[in-house]
Chains A and B, each alone.
Chain A
């Protein structure tokens, strides 16, 4: 089946109020072309799941698309804190659930395995257990010892970005895998953007690096530089200069409006043009 679609067709299929899992990790391989399209859409009250979030969550919060965030981490790593996340947390304008890296994975895994929860010792003794109403401390039925039940996370949609895909929806991930496979398997509908579409024959040469299996994907979008400004190893590194501009812009209302008009309310082609085009990006970011 040919599953190619446009970025806008993906956004059309995302319901307001939907539970959306986003792959990647902080400033690495985030599906930013898809996220930007969602950020400029009129969707409301999206419920976002990220294991390790960064510019993805922050941008969606910045354009007011989000009702709730389930996260283990949201930040810009070496660049510092995520500005819109920080503001939203401090002003309590959005609901937040603090999870942890493994418990997000366990929640997705529970959804995949069609069980209601996964048990773990992680979060015992911490305040995560106190502030996260989704977790329940229960008794191990065999030993009566305390253990934490992590409920299944059942995303309506997963958004991921990969290096290569074929039109049937198989995807190759060459750098760190993060939690993309779990997101893809757990979600009802997985939409994947890729740096480049390859024939299925070419794709199968990547062997075990074919990590996203077509039975889990609903749509495929070819979007070169689709993770920018996050990195996509081994194709390109994180655009730290863009992220620094983002941080500066988000410090004032005026700056943010300017940023939105230049980099969010434009389509992906224009977005790349506004960076001086693909050649300019190659010279700055190819490794």
Chain B
């Protein structure tokens, strides 16, 4: 890990993500990182955000990263119920923000969660474009994060465009849906390079431009002048993140193999207790 060992990389990334959010927007909770960024933003940086407890429902709740309890969180907190129509109407009218964690992102900010290799004969079939095409044709800000910046994830050209980036992908589209920001474990990037390509905005402490180039599948544009250091989380940011994720569900996204499997089981066994400890059973159905 290139970041100062005193700092947890997850907390740096989540805080950086939180600081990008602003305004009065629905913010979806699809991943632990996304929901914690929304929660921290609302507490510290963007108080008008309307944070959801699941990808589609439970507006104005305090999200708790969980494996299985998103909808139960809506119930115990009496979150405002939304429909899928509400979600897509908010996307089309640009009242929605989401942090997307793509499998691949390229120099133009095209993103892929569909397949590795040719779509008709994939080497690995992933999950399918889901709602990314809607986001990349309508939102005035689109946010991406990648936890392990590598030439396999940050590529010259995605194998499949699930989401539309800049350049030729803007054919038929206006600027809505164009990529805004990518946060990785190395730094913060935007798309202000030539022809809307990826450019370095800031680097996390201890990270060099050389390392970024080594771990990226194309030459990243580096603007002139000194490259800023990513602003680090304050003690208050870190406290809010840790309090909101007592089971450390966020750490799962950084793990793999047996370590991840063990953590996964531990969280699954404990999360009901954690929910009930935090919220008494005052849900709509009084159970």
Contacts and interface: CB of A to CB of B under 8 A. Distances in A.
Interface string A28-58: 1000000000000000000000011000000
A73 B71 contact: no
Contact of A174 (B88, B121, B285): B285
B273 to A, nearest CB: 11
B77 to A, nearest CB: 12
Interface string A151-178: 0000000000000000000000011111
A121 B138 contact: yes
A98 B138 contact: no
B164 interface: yes
Contacts of B120: 92, 131
A49 B67 CA distance: 26
A287 B56 contact: no
B88 A137 contact: no
A100 B132 contact: yes
Contact of B136 (A73, A125, A178): A125
Contacts of A174: 75, 284-285
B172 interface: yes
Quick one: which of B68, B114, B119, B123 has the most chain A CB within 10 A? B68
B131 A102 contact: yes
B71 A28 contact: yes
Given A90-B124, A145-B172, A237-B69, A127 B119 contact: yes
B163 interface: yes
A122 interface: yes
Interface residues of A, number: 52
A105 B134 CA distance: 12
Contacts of A71: 128
A240 interface: yes
A125 B170 contact: yes
Contacts of A178: 56, 84
Q: What is the interface residue range for chain B against chain A?
A: 35 or more
A275 interface: no
A202 to B, nearest CB: 13
Interface string A16-31: 0000000001011000
B270 interface: no
Interface stretch (A74-82, A212-220, A263-271): A74-82
Contacts of A100: 129-134
27 contacts: A72-B130, A73-B129, A75-B127, A81-B125, A85-B125, A86-B124, A90-B123, A98-B128, A98-B129, A105-B85, A122-B134, A122-B138, A123-B137, A124-B171, A125-B161, A126-B132, A126-B162, A137-B172, A146-B172, A178-B84, A231-B71, A233-B75, A234-B72, A234-B287, A240-B264, A240-B268, A287-B275
Interface of B: 54, 56-58, 67-69, 71-72, 74-75, 83-85, 88, 91, 114-115, 119-134, 136-138, 160-165, 169-173, 177, 252, 264, 268, 272, 275, 283-285, 287
